Amino acid sequence: MDPENEDVAELAEAIAEGDTGEIVEETIETIFGVDI
């Protein structure tokens, strides 16, 4: 699995667990290359 797919999988898992805040920020920063 490439790193971007791993990030998406981690994000999906976080959403499923309801623990989204920090992980969503980190994932968006990683995928889109922006700083939130």
CA–CA gap between residue 35 and residue 13 (Å, rounded): 22
- For 1-31, the pLDDT digits (tens) are 576 778 788 877 877 787 777 877 888 888 8
Quote the pLDDT of residue 9. 82
Max Cα distance, the chain (Å): 26
| Whole-number pLDDT of residue 33 | 85
33 in the Ramachandran plot: left (φ > 0), alpha (ψ -120 to 50) or beta? left
Overall domain count for the chain: 1
Structural domain of residue 23, as residue ranges? 3-32
Q: What is the pLDDT of residue 1?
A: 57
- Mapped to the 3 state alphabet, what secondary structure does the chain carry? CCHHHHHHHHHHHHHHHCCCHHHHHHHHHHHHCCCC
For tokens 């922006």, the residue is 34
pLDDT confidence of residue 28: 80
Residue-level pLDDT at 29? 85
Per-residue confidence (pLDDT) for residue 13, from 0 to 100: 81
